[in-house]
């Protein structure tokens, strides 16, 4: 299932570049969004117009376009996976050394998404100790190598070095992205910050943008789950999601509690108000009447309500902390969750409104697993991988 996944397809200078056009077509047909990056020599083998026609976006070539001051970072963060097919010996060498003088190798250096490489070269070049050293280095870095196959090569030669067929690269991408791994799962996700009315025009709210919860929902849907997103933020346009728009903690509680027992997994990523005005004014509060005294009352604890259900789903809570994750360990235990995702909203690149997030997972035994700062979609991807692992070992 590659529908909705974002693939950067890197094409380097080899005759097998013609196969990349077919690979791009397979990806687009599967519903993936594809952006291509051509190296200078790839231009001799494949025309940009062909790729633009297939993917709907002109290929990227270098750092110096008008559209972005840092195209390598844009592409690296956008990608759910980076796939280089064909990859020449020269490209493998650059990647193995961590060079970044061209756009494609800079993207690979900057991304935290899975990287797939489909080598294509003459047998002598493939079997040369230098290439084999580079191959070993790439494998050690976690790069997924697809192929090469043995068969006819450019110039009439026959031997190992032929690029894997597009269908094989496509299947490897599906596997790398855990495609369809959540098929058959019913998932509920909450997102956004609730708003508690003070009067008809004002509310008590918080800084949550909903981006993290929306990424969690989008990623689950892309992996084949049936997803209900209950959100207090402007919902994204994600095909295939059931979206329930709510505003207050009370509305969110009703929407969640009515559905949670029918779900396999509930991820409560919303920033829910803990208190609300006890008596919101029916008409607008007037300045002339002076500052109002706001009496607050507790809102329903949505997570506690789910944890108390007789048939409760695998339950994932989020904890917005303003300090180290260790403070969230006690919270995980007291809330009875199967997993708590803690993030320090005061850390750089983390928390409300940012595109990235730095989180720590608190496991049921109190173990803290700190992750590096990642794009929110990548955090969501890794979170689903961990949930799948934990569920495969547990009873829920």
How far, in Å, CA of 337 to CA of 365, rounded? Answer: 11
270 binds ligand CTP (CB under 6 A): yes
* Catalytic residue of the set 134, 206, 343, 357: 206
188 binds ligand CTP (CB under 6 A): no
Q: Work out which of 234, 274, 326, 369 binds ligand CTP, going by CB under 6 A.
A: 274
Q: Work out which of 95, 163, 260, 272 binds ligand CTP, going by CB under 6 A.
A: 272
Instruction: Answer yes or no: are the C-beta atoms of 366 and 329 closer than 8 Å.
Output: yes
Nearer to ligand CTP, 107 or 362 (CB): 362
131 binds ligand CTP (CB under 6 A): no
301 binds ligand CTP (CB under 6 A): yes
210 binds ligand CTP (CB under 6 A): no
Q: Across the strands, what pairs with 301?
A: none
Distances (CA, A) of 206 to 236, 362, 376: 19, 24, 19
> Which residue reads 């505003």 in tokens?
247
How would you class 11 by CB atoms within 10 Å of its CB: exposed for 0-12, middle for 13-18, buried for 19 or more?
A: buried
For ligand CTP, the binding residues in 249-268 under the rule CB under 6 A are 249, 268
357 catalytic residue (yes or no)? no
Number of residues counted as binding ligand CTP (CB under 6 A):
14
> Which residue reads 């008409």 in tokens?
283
Identify which range of 63-71, 82-90, 98-106, 294-302 contacts ligand CTP by CB under 6 A: 294-302
In angstroms and rounded to an integer, the radius of gyration of the C-alpha atoms of the chain is 24
Q: How far is the CB of 372 from ligand CTP (least distance, A)?
A: 22
193 binds ligand CTP (CB under 6 A): no
14 binds ligand CTP (CB under 6 A): no
In sequence order, the 6+-apart residues with CB closer than 8 A to the CB of 34 are 7, 8, 9, 24, 27, 28, 54, 55, 57
Instruction: Answer yes or no: are the C-beta atoms of 30 and 2 closer than 8 Å.
Output: yes
Q: How far is the CB of 301 from ligand CTP (least distance, A)?
A: 5
Q: Which helix (H) or strand (E) holds 85?
A: strand 81-87
325 binds ligand CTP (CB under 6 A): no
Q: Work out which of 319, 360, 379, 387 binds ligand CTP, going by CB under 6 A.
A: 319
Q: Work out which of 318, 344, 359, 383 binds ligand CTP, going by CB under 6 A.
A: 318
Q: Which residue's Cβ has the minimum distance to ligand CTP?
A: 302
Instruction: Answer yes or no: are the C-beta atoms of 189 and 213 closer than 8 Å.
Output: yes
Q: Work out which of 38, 220, 302, 339 binds ligand CTP, going by CB under 6 A.
A: 302
Identify which range of 105-113, 137-145, 270-278, 348-356 contacts ligand CTP by CB under 6 A: 270-278
Nearer to ligand CTP, 43 or 312 (CB): 312
Q: How far is the CB of 319 from ligand CTP (least distance, A)?
A: 4
Instruction: Answer yes or no: are the C-beta atoms of 341 and 383 closer than 8 Å.
Output: yes
299 binds ligand CTP (CB under 6 A): yes
Instruction: Answer yes or no: are the C-beta atoms of 335 and 312 closer than 8 Å.
Output: no
Q: How far is the CB of 211 from ligand CTP (least distance, A)?
A: 15
DSSP state of 46: S
Nearer to ligand CTP, 143 or 303 (CB): 303
Please report which residue ranges of the chain form alpha helices under DSSP H. Answer: 17-29, 48-55, 71-78, 89-97, 103-110, 123-127, 129-140, 166-176, 211-222, 249-257, 302-307, 327-335, 376-393
Residues at the interface with ligand CTP (CB under 6 A): 190, 249, 268, 270, 272, 274, 299, 301-303, 317-320
* Active site (catalytic) residues: 206
């Amino acid at each position: 299932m590659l529908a909705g996944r974002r693939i950067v397809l890197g094409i380097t200078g080899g005759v097998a570049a013609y196969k990349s056009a077919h690979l791009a077509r397979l990806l687009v047909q599967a519903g993936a969004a594809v952006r291509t990056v051509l190296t200078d020599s790839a231009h001799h083998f494949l025309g940009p117009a062909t790729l633009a026609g297939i993917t709907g976006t002109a290929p990227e070539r270098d750092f110096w376009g008008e559209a972005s001051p840092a195209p390598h970072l844009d592409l690296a963060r956008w990608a759910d996976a980076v796939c280089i097919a064909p990859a020449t010996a020269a490209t493998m060498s650059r990647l193995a050394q961590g060079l970044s003088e061209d756009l494609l190798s800079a993207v690979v250096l900057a991304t935290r998404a899975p990287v797939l490489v489909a080598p294509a070269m003459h047998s002598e070049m493939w079997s040369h100790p230098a290439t084999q050293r580079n191959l070993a280095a790439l494998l050690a870095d976690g790069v997924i190598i697809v192929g090469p196959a043995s068969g006819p090569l450019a110039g009439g030669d026959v031997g190992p070095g032929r690029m894997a067929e597009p269908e094989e690269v496509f299947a490897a991408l599906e596997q790398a992205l855990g495609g369809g791994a959540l098929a058959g799962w019913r998932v509920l996700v909450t997102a956004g910050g609730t708003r508690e009315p003070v009067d008809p025009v004002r509310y008590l709210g918080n800084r949550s943008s909903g981006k993290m919860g929306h990424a969690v929902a989008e990623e689950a849907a892309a992996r084949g789950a049936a997803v209900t997103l209950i959100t207090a933020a402007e919902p994204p346009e994600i095909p295939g999601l059931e979206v329930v728009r709510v505003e207050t903690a009370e509305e969110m509680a009703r929407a969640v509690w009515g559905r949670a027992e029918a779900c396999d997994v509930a991820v409560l990523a919303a920033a829910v108000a803990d208190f609300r005005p006890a008596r919101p004014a029916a008409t607008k509060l007037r300045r002339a009447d002076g500052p109002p005294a706001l009496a607050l009352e507790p809102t329903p604890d949505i997570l506690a309500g789910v944890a108390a259900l007789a048939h409760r789903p695998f339950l994932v809570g989020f904890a917005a902390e303003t300090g180290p994750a260790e403070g969230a360990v006690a919270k995980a235990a007291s809330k009875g969750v199967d997993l708590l995702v803690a993030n320090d909203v005061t850390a750089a690149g983390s928390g409300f409104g940012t595109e990235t997030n730095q989180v720590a997972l608190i496991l049921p035994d109190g173990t803290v697993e700190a992750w590096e700062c990642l794009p929110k979609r990548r955090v969501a991807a890794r979170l689903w991988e961990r949930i799948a692992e934990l569920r495969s070992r547990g009873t829920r």
